[in-house]
Amino acid sequence: MKKDAKQNQLSFLSIEKKIEQSTTTVTEIRVPIFLPVAKIAHNSKIALEFKKNSNILTLKTSWGEVKLRGRKLLTSVHRDILDCIYSFNEQTQLCMNGDIEIYFYLSNILKHYGLKNPNANIAWLRKQIEEIRDLTVDYKRNNGDSFDFNIISNLAYKEEQKMYCITLDKKYVKFYESELSINYKKELPKLLKIENPIIKTIIRWFFTHSKETKFKLETVLTAIGIPTDFLSLRMMQTHKKTIRENIAIFNKFGIDFDFKDEIFFYTGNENVAFIPSLFHNVKKTASIAKPVSDLKSYHGTSLVVADKEYTISNIELMLDEDREPEYYLIYIGNEESFKYTNKDFKKEKKFELELIEWLEANKDKEKK
C-alpha cells in the first residue's frame, strides 16, 4: 500500500487510549466540580447552602451549569488524587459493559501525592476515593446537552493483580468520550507541590486554554467556583494578596497578572496537550464547501493504516471550542476514531480536497 506523506497528521484514539493519555476533561476544570479549597468549613456559605438544599449545590459559569449531589462536596485534594491515579496507575482496562477499570498501588499514589509516610495514610486515601464515588454530577452544556454521572462507581482490591482498582462509571466514560480532554501529566509533579488550592485551581483552569489569552480577575474567580458577586471587599483583597504572594509560581506555568488592570495573561504551555472529542463535543462549521455527498460516499469504505484495516462509519468536519484548526473525525465503528488535522489552516475546500486525496491513498485497494 502506498504510504502518504501526510499520514503523520493522523492520530488513532479509542476511549481506553484517550483516558490513558489524558489527565482529565476540560469541562471538569472549567466548571467547578472540584471546589478551590483544601477543606470545606462546615459553617462556610457554600456548605450551609449545600446542607439547606438537601445536599445539592448548583454552580453556573460561562462554560455550563453543574449540579452536585452527595454526602460531601469535592475539593482540590480530590482533584489532586484523581490526577495522580490517572497519571501514575499501572493499567487501564475497558470492560464489556462500558466501564473503565484503572489499577494502581495506593502507596504509589500517596508517594506521588507527596506524603512522606504513604503506608500510614492508606485509610485516608481510600476515604477520599469513596467521597469521589459518592458524588453525583449533573452537568448541562450551554447548548442544552446534559450528562448525569458518578465519576467512580466502585473501589476494590483485586487479589489477582495485588492492586487496588477504581471503576469509572460507564455514564462518565460516555461523557469523557464526548469531551475535549487535556494532558498535563508533565506539569503534575510541579503542580502538586503548590500548597494553596486557589493558586493550583487557577493554574489548572489556564491549562484548558491552548492559546495565548487574557481574562479579568473576576472572570477567573467565578470560573473556578468563587462567585465575585457575593465576595466582600475584604475577601476580594485577600484573594489579590494571595495572587501577589504567588506570582512567581504563576510565572513558572506561563501565567502573569497585571495588578493595575487586574487581568491575567497566559502565554500557553508546551507541556500541556489536548485530545479531541471522540464524538460531538465540538461545534460543526456553519457550512461545508464541498457537497456532503462527496464525503458520505466514503462511509463503509475500508482503510488500511499502519497495516491494520478499519471501516469508516462516519466523517464529520468539526471545530473545537477554542477555535483550533478545523479537522475531520473519521469514526471507526462505535468506539474508535481518527483525527485528521488542518495544521496548515487551509480553507474548507482545499482542506476537504486534501482529505479526499488521503482517503484515496489509504483505501484498501483489494476491496475495490
pLDDT tens, position by position, 147-176: 999 999 999 998 888 899 999 999 999 999
Integer-rounded Cα radius of gyration of the chain: 22
pLDDT number for residue 77:
96
| Best CA proximity match to 37, nearest among 225, 204, 260 | 225
**112-117 contacts at long range (C-beta below 8 A, 24 or more positions apart):** 112/84, 112/87, 112/88, 112/189, 112/192, 113/80, 113/81, 113/84, 113/192, 114/192, 114/193
Instruction: Find out whether 247 and 257 touch, Cβ atoms under 8 Å.
Output: yes
Residue type at 301? T
pLDDT number for residue 233:
82
77, HSE (Cβ side, Cα atoms, 13 Å): 17
Residue with C-alpha cell 494502581? 104
Mean pLDDT of the chain: 82
pLDDT number for residue 11:
45
Q: Strand 327-332 to strand 308-318: parallel, antiparallel, or no bridges (unpaired)?
A: antiparallel
> 355: pLDDT confidence band, cut at 50, 70 and 90?
confident
- What are the backbone dihedrals phi and psi of residue 349, each rounded to the nearest 5 degrees, phi first? -60, -45
Averaged pLDDT for residues 258-283: 80
Strand order in the sheet with 10-13: 10-13, 336-341, 327-332, 308-318, 302-305
Q: Does pLDDT of 295 surpass 50?
A: yes
Choice among 161-165, 174-178, 240-244, 329-333 with the minimum mean pLDDT: 329-333
Averaged pLDDT for residues 60-85: 92
Q: Does pLDDT of 298 surpass 50?
A: yes
- What are the backbone dihedrals phi and psi of residue 327, each rounded to the nearest 5 degrees, phi first? -150, 160
Q: Other C-beta atoms within 10 Å of 161: how many?
A: 14
Q: Strand 327-332 to strand 74-75: parallel, antiparallel, or no bridges (unpaired)?
A: unpaired
Q: Does pLDDT of 29 surpass 50?
A: yes
Averaged pLDDT for residues 191-215: 92
pLDDT number for residue 338:
67
Residue type at 239? H
Choice among 78-92, 276-290, 345-359 with the minimum mean pLDDT: 276-290
Averaged pLDDT for residues 34-59: 90
- What are the backbone dihedrals phi and psi of residue 36, each rounded to the nearest 5 degrees, phi first? -80, 50
% pLDDT > 70, the chain: 79
pLDDT number for residue 219:
86
Instruction: Find out whether 313 and 299 touch, Cβ atoms under 8 Å.
Output: yes
Averaged pLDDT for residues 49-74: 91
Domains of the chain and any CATH numbers: 15-192 (no CATH), 197-266 (no CATH), 282-367 (2.30.30)
Q: Does pLDDT of 287 surpass 80?
A: no
pLDDT number for residue 22:
92
> 249: pLDDT confidence band, cut at 50, 70 and 90?
very high
Which distant-in-sequence residues (6+ apart) come within 8 Å of 19 by Cβ? Answer: 86, 92, 100, 102, 168, 173, 176, 181
Q: Is 272 helix (H, G, I), strand (E, B) or coil?
A: coil
Choice among 5-19, 61-75, 116-130 with the minimum mean pLDDT: 5-19
pLDDT number for residue 60:
85
pLDDT number for residue 7:
31
pLDDT number for residue 55:
94
Higher-scoring residue by pLDDT: 286, 319: 319
pLDDT number for residue 43:
84
Q: Does pLDDT of 306 surpass 80?
A: no
pLDDT number for residue 134:
96
pLDDT number for residue 358:
79
Which three three-digit cell numbers place residue 142? 450551554
> 289: pLDDT confidence band, cut at 50, 70 and 90?
very low
pLDDT number for residue 368:
43
> 327: pLDDT confidence band, cut at 50, 70 and 90?
low
Q: Does pLDDT of 10 surpass 90?
A: no
Higher-scoring residue by pLDDT: 286, 366: 366
Q: Does pLDDT of 96 surpass 90?
A: no
